[in-house]
Structure 1
Amino acid sequence: MTAPAVTVLGLGAMGSAIATRLRDNGFTTTVWNRTAAKTEPHVEAGSTAAATVAEAVNASDIVLVVLLDHHSVREQLDPVAAQLKKTVVVNLTTTTPNQARETAAWAAEHGIHYVDGAIMAVPSMIGDPSARLLYSGDENGYATAQAVLETLGTTEFTGEDPGLASLKDMALLSAMDLMILGYVQAIAMMRTAGTPAVETAAEVEAWLAAMLPHGKELAAIVDGGTYDTGGQSVDFDRFGIASLITASREQGIRADFLEPHQKLLEELAAAGHGDSDWIRVIERLTIH
């Protein structure tokens, strides 16, 4: 069976890695970039460069979009909507869930098979199973492009809601960001005692590795919805967090990462939930 032709729009670090991977796996590739000079190495390696987006999308039935942001995607795709009819468009540009849904609605109006994607990897990981790529949207479009997408890393179709891939990506990245901020806080505190950052980081890694499995226990409490298991209470935790904040300040370190947690716990206590499991703070995160 002949490998499908694929167009890649955008040749930044990620787009270039994707185009290279596809080409190395035998796919006929057409590439386009706003700065044409970036297409030259790909042409030398066997890709075809398109002078315009219209020319690029006409070359393939599968188009991978790897641009800067949501605005860039719509700026380049809107004028070629007619040419994209019946084409599978896989948007690998980082967008929010609602931006993905907006583009999917636009695509549906024009008969385009739209799949939204989220890349949980850096460019050097593309092609390795450690690269995790999430997809959502048009399931038939995903099935059509699946052989192409599986060459990029481990794939997961999250559902027909076009925003799901982005939502999971953003949620997991939020967890990572907050975890890294924990590293930063610990390193800042221990530096005041002369402890090298690498030593503190190693200790944090070991400590978190032991603690992370308990996250499932907290998740079970959230799913139960009662917050009355008799575990660590709001009152206990808010005094504990207050101690962490005080300790930071005693060392001349700001507690900006910890203070929002304390604020949420204080709100719960003021609302009469001091005896509840502290994980009840999740209910305070919903914007009303």
Structure 2
Amino acid sequence: MTPASTDLPAPLKALAGRADDALARVLPGEDLPPTELHRAMRYAVLGGGKRLRPLLVYAAGHALGSDGPVLDAPACAVEIIHAYSLVHDDLPAMDDDDLRRGRPTCHIVFGEAMAILAGDALQALAFEILADDEPEGDDPAQRIAMLRTLGAACGAEGMAGGQAFDLSAVGRKLTLEELERMHAYKTGALIRASVRLGALAAGCRDQDLLERLDRYGHAVGLAFQVRDDILDIEGESAVIGKTAGKDAAADKPTFPSIIGLDASRARLAALVDEALEAISPLGARGEWLADLARYSAARGH
């Protein structure tokens, strides 16, 4: 495996800035009523973050020859869905956390009821943005495929299902297969969707290539989670931006708790190799996707 970088290359950093600018435009202004709700929505989305999911949209689109504004809507939609999921995951009834991205969580700042509403409104906004956008060539079938992709990533066979698995797993000893299934839903589904949305927005109809990109997204999603679990043990709260050691304290199953730290690192390396193999036919066009796979496995926060 090529050595991974803990930092993003300059072109991807620039794209993260592009995503931030696009998100600031599509979110409702905090001076518009209901102002408290809009403030909570903007707080949840614009308060930092790696922007990995928008970057995957841009990288997949770039690999297929598209770098235009057609990628901004799906990039915003997946990041807004991600932000909504974090708001709800942090609630007292879920993970009950008070720190996210180095700041107090949304419900700590705005109250539990307003945080729930902010998450609800963000989820609805993501689909509105995606439905209003015009895919390359204005193909209605492509637009429907993109909406279906995002919807599936959110539902019972995506993030919601993964969170249900997570809640039921506390205090239980899972097998590695069960743990990977849980995270393929909870974390991996939206990462896979990000890659697919970038390809669809670029007009891709090659089913073999879409399948390869899905394999890439699956591997990157699991790699991201393995790295998260390692950081929960080795990271510091001030650096990783959330409460370190919380998973262990809550007796939640993690990769290190099931297979150990050394085996987790080995699994991480294997997943990056799987991701890189899946996109190998793209050659140099897949460079950004390859960079993001390596970054997901090496990041320090």
TM-score by length of 2: 0.27
Q: Which has the larger share of strand?
A: 1
Q: Between the two structures, name the one with larger relative contact order (CA 8 Å, sep ≥ 6).
A: 2
Larger Rg: 1
TM-score by length of 1: 0.28
Q: Which has the larger share of helix?
A: 2
